[in-house]
């Protein structure tokens, strides 16, 4: 039963990844087009850059005071949290299942 729930959490992570690959590139394009100072801060190739992902997780996009950017980055942030939480919970349940 534990491994079933671990697999279910992996499915949540996959669903989060699906949403992430939809919203995060859109948010990055919006940043590139309308916020050159933020784009310079994130750097080139920011899709999987740890600094850009931490910028997203911290919610630093609120500092730009752009409702369109918030509308794109918030679902990307939620999906990134779902990915991390799903994989974390799956790992915990898997470790629990193999513990003697």
Domains identified in the chain, total number: 1
Domain range spanning residue 79?
2-98
Q: How large is the average pLDDT for residues 76-85?
A: 98
Question: What is the reported pLDDT for 87?
Answer: 96
Residue 3 has which token pair? Answer: 């491994």
| Residues 6+ away with beta carbon under 8 Å from 79 | 16, 17, 18, 19, 20, 23, 24
Q: Say what the pLDDT of residue 62 is.
A: 97
State the pLDDT at residue 39: 96
The per-residue pLDDT of the chain, averaged, comes to 96
**Has residue 77 got a pLDDT over 90?**
yes
Question: Residue 7: CB partners within 8 Å, gap ≥ 6?
Answer: 90
The pLDDT tens digits for 27-72 are: 999 999 999 999 999 999 999 999 999 999 999 999 999 999 999 9
């Amino acid at each position: 039963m534990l491994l079933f729930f671990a697999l279910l959490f992996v499915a949540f992570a996959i669903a989060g990844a699906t949403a992430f690959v939809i919203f995060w590139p859109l948010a990055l394009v919006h940043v590139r087009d309308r916020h050159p100072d933020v784009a310079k801060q994130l750097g080139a190739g920011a899709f999987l850059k740890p600094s850009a992902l931490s910028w997203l997780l911290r919610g630093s996009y609120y500092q730009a005071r752009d409702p369109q950017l918030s509308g794109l980055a918030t679902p990307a942030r939620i999906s990134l949290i779902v990915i991390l939480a799903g994989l974390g919970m799956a790992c915990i349940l898997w470790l629990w299942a193999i513990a003697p």
